[in-house]
Chain A
Amino acid sequence: MRHIISILMENESGALSRVAGLFSARGYNIESLTVAPTEDSSLSRMTLVTRGNEDIIEQITKQLNKLIDVVKLIDLVDSAHIERELMMVKIKTSEHMRDEIRSMAEIFRGKIIDVTPTTYIVEMTGPSEKLDAFIDAVDPDTIIEVVRSGPTGISRGEKGLYL
Chain B
Amino acid sequence: MELSGAQILVQSLIDEGVEYIFGYPGGAVLHLYDALFQQDEIKHILVRHEQGATHAADGYARATGKPGVVLVTSGPGATNAVTGIATAYMDSIPLVVISGQVSLPVIGSDAFQEVDMIGITRPCVKHNYLVKDVTKLAETIKKAFYVATTGRPGPVVVDIPKDITAPNIKVPYKYPKKVSIRSYNPVVTGHKGQIKKAVDLLLRAQKPIIYSGGGVILGEASKELTEFTHTLGYPITNTLMGLGGFPATDKQFIGMLGMHGTYEANMAMHESDVIIAIGARFDDRVTGKLDLFCPYAKIIHIDVDPASISKTVKVDIPIVGEVKPVLEQMLELIRENHKKPHKKALEPWWHQIEQWRAVNCLEYDRESRLIKPQYVIEQLYEVTKGDAYITSDVGQHQMWAAQYYHFDKPRRWINSGGLGTMGFGLPAAIGVKLAFPDADVACVTGEASVQMCIQELSTALQYKTPIKIINLNNRYMGMVRQWQEFSYESRYSHSYMDTIPEFVKLAEAYGHVGMRIDKPEEVRPALEEAFAMKDRTVFLDIITDQTENVYPMIEAGKGHHDMKLRVALGTSTDRELA
Which residues of A does B touch, CB under 8 Å?
9-10, 13-14, 17-18, 21, 25, 55, 58-59, 62-63, 65-66, 68-72, 163
Which residues of the partner chain B approach A9 to less than 8 Å between Cβ atoms? 183
Q: Complex Cα distance A133/B127, Å?
A: 43
**Closest-CB distance, A8 to chain B (whole angstroms):** 9
Contact present for B306 and A68 (CB under 8 Å): no
Q: Complex Cα distance A25/B126, Å?
A: 14
Which residues of the partner chain B approach A72 to less than 8 Å between Cβ atoms? 183
- Whether A68 contacts B307 in the complex (CB less than 8 A), given A14-B130, A21-B123, comes out as no
* 27 contacting pairs across A/B (C-beta < 8 A): A9-B183, A10-B183, A13-B130, A14-B118, A14-B122, A17-B119, A17-B122, A21-B122, A21-B123, A55-B310, A55-B314, A58-B310, A59-B307, A62-B306, A62-B307, A63-B307, A65-B306, A65-B307, A66-B305, A66-B306, A66-B307, A68-B126, A68-B183, A69-B183, A71-B182, A71-B183, A72-B183
Q: Complex Cα distance A21/B124, Å?
A: 11
Which residues of B does A touch, CB under 8 Å?
118-119, 122-123, 126-127, 130, 147, 181-184, 305-307, 309-311, 314
Nearest residue (CB) in A for B311 is A59
**Closest-CB distance, A74 to chain B (whole angstroms):** 15
Which residues of the partner chain B approach A59 to less than 8 Å between Cβ atoms? 307, 311
Which residues of the partner chain B approach A18 to less than 8 Å between Cβ atoms? 122
The 3 closest A-B pairs by CB, nearest first: A62-B307, A71-B183, A68-B127
Which residues of the partner chain A approach B130 to less than 8 Å between Cβ atoms? 13-14
- Whether A68 contacts B181 in the complex (CB less than 8 A), given A14-B118, A14-B130, A18-B122, comes out as yes
**Closest-CB distance, B52 to chain A (whole angstroms):** 27
Which residues of the partner chain A approach B184 to less than 8 Å between Cβ atoms? 68
Q: Complex Cα distance A55/B122, Å?
A: 24
Q: Complex Cα distance A9/B182, Å?
A: 10
Q: Complex Cα distance A163/B310, Å?
A: 28
**Closest-CB distance, B547 to chain A (whole angstroms):** 39
Which residues of the partner chain B approach A21 to less than 8 Å between Cβ atoms? 122-123
Which residues of the partner chain B approach A62 to less than 8 Å between Cβ atoms? 306-307, 309
Q: 5 extra interchain contacts, Cβ-Cβ under 8 A, other than A17-B119, A66-B306? A: A14-B118, A14-B122, A21-B123, A62-B309, A68-B127
Which residues of the partner chain A approach B305 to less than 8 Å between Cβ atoms? 66
Q: Complex Cα distance A17/B120, Å?
A: 12
**Closest-CB distance, A42 to chain B (whole angstroms):** 9
Q: Complex Cα distance A101/B208, Å?
A: 71
Q: Complex Cα distance A104/B476, Å?
A: 74
Q: Complex Cα distance A163/B182, Å?
A: 10
**Closest-CB distance, A10 to chain B (whole angstroms):** 6
Q: Complex Cα distance A69/B130, Å?
A: 14
Q: Complex Cα distance A14/B119, Å?
A: 9
Nearest residue (CB) in B for A10 is B183
**Closest-CB distance, A54 to chain B (whole angstroms):** 10
Q: Complex Cα distance A144/B153, Å?
A: 52
**Closest-CB distance, A32 to chain B (whole angstroms):** 22
Q: Complex Cα distance A18/B314, Å?
A: 27
Nearest residue (CB) in A for B147 is A68
Which residues of the partner chain B approach A25 to less than 8 Å between Cβ atoms? 123
Which residues of the partner chain B approach A58 to less than 8 Å between Cβ atoms? 310
Q: Complex Cα distance A65/B306, Å?
A: 9
Q: Complex Cα distance A58/B119, Å?
A: 26
Which of B123, B130, B183, B305 counts the most chain A CB atoms within 10 A? B183
Q: Complex Cα distance A21/B305, Å?
A: 20
**Closest-CB distance, B180 to chain A (whole angstroms):** 12
Which residues of the partner chain B approach A70 to less than 8 Å between Cβ atoms? 183
Q: Complex Cα distance A53/B432, Å?
A: 45
Which residues of the partner chain B approach A63 to less than 8 Å between Cβ atoms? 307
**Closest-CB distance, B540 to chain A (whole angstroms):** 41
Which of B123, B126, B130, B305 counts the most chain A CB atoms within 10 A? B123
Nearest residue (CB) in B for A13 is B130
**Closest-CB distance, B115 to chain A (whole angstroms):** 15
Which residues of the partner chain B approach A13 to less than 8 Å between Cβ atoms? 130
Which residues of the partner chain B approach A10 to less than 8 Å between Cβ atoms? 183
Q: Complex Cα distance A68/B144, Å?
A: 11
Q: Complex Cα distance A72/B182, Å?
A: 10
Q: Complex Cα distance A18/B124, Å?
A: 11
Which residues of the partner chain A approach B147 to less than 8 Å between Cβ atoms? 68
Which of A18, A65, A66 counts the most chain B CB atoms within 10 A? A66
Q: Complex Cα distance A59/B308, Å?
A: 9
**Closest-CB distance, B537 to chain A (whole angstroms):** 39
Which residues of the partner chain B approach A17 to less than 8 Å between Cβ atoms? 119, 122
Which residues of the partner chain A approach B183 to less than 8 Å between Cβ atoms? 9-10, 68-72
Q: Complex Cα distance A65/B305, Å?
A: 10
Which of B118, B306, B307, B311 counts the most chain A CB atoms within 10 A? B307
**Closest-CB distance, A20 to chain B (whole angstroms):** 10
Which residues of the partner chain A approach B306 to less than 8 Å between Cβ atoms? 62, 65-66
Which residues of the partner chain B approach A65 to less than 8 Å between Cβ atoms? 306-307
Q: Complex Cα distance A69/B181, Å?
A: 9
Nearest residue (CB) in B for A8 is B183
Which residues of the partner chain A approach B311 to less than 8 Å between Cβ atoms? 59
Nearest residue (CB) in B for A18 is B122
Nearest residue (CB) in A for B183 is A71
Q: Complex Cα distance A72/B185, Å?
A: 11
**Closest-CB distance, A5 to chain B (whole angstroms):** 15
Q: Complex Cα distance A141/B546, Å?
A: 71
**Closest-CB distance, A130 to chain B (whole angstroms):** 35
Which residues of the partner chain A approach B181 to less than 8 Å between Cβ atoms? 68
Q: Complex Cα distance A55/B130, Å?
A: 34
Q: Complex Cα distance A59/B306, Å?
A: 9
Q: Complex Cα distance A55/B313, Å?
A: 10
Which of A55, A59, A62 counts the most chain B CB atoms within 10 A? A62
Nearest residue (CB) in B for A64 is B307
**Closest-CB distance, A6 to chain B (whole angstroms):** 15
**Closest-CB distance, A52 to chain B (whole angstroms):** 14
**Closest-CB distance, B104 to chain A (whole angstroms):** 12
Q: Complex Cα distance A130/B309, Å?
A: 38
**Closest-CB distance, A118 to chain B (whole angstroms):** 42
Nearest residue (CB) in A for B184 is A68
**Closest-CB distance, A60 to chain B (whole angstroms):** 10
Q: Complex Cα distance A58/B122, Å?
A: 22
Q: Complex Cα distance A14/B127, Å?
A: 11
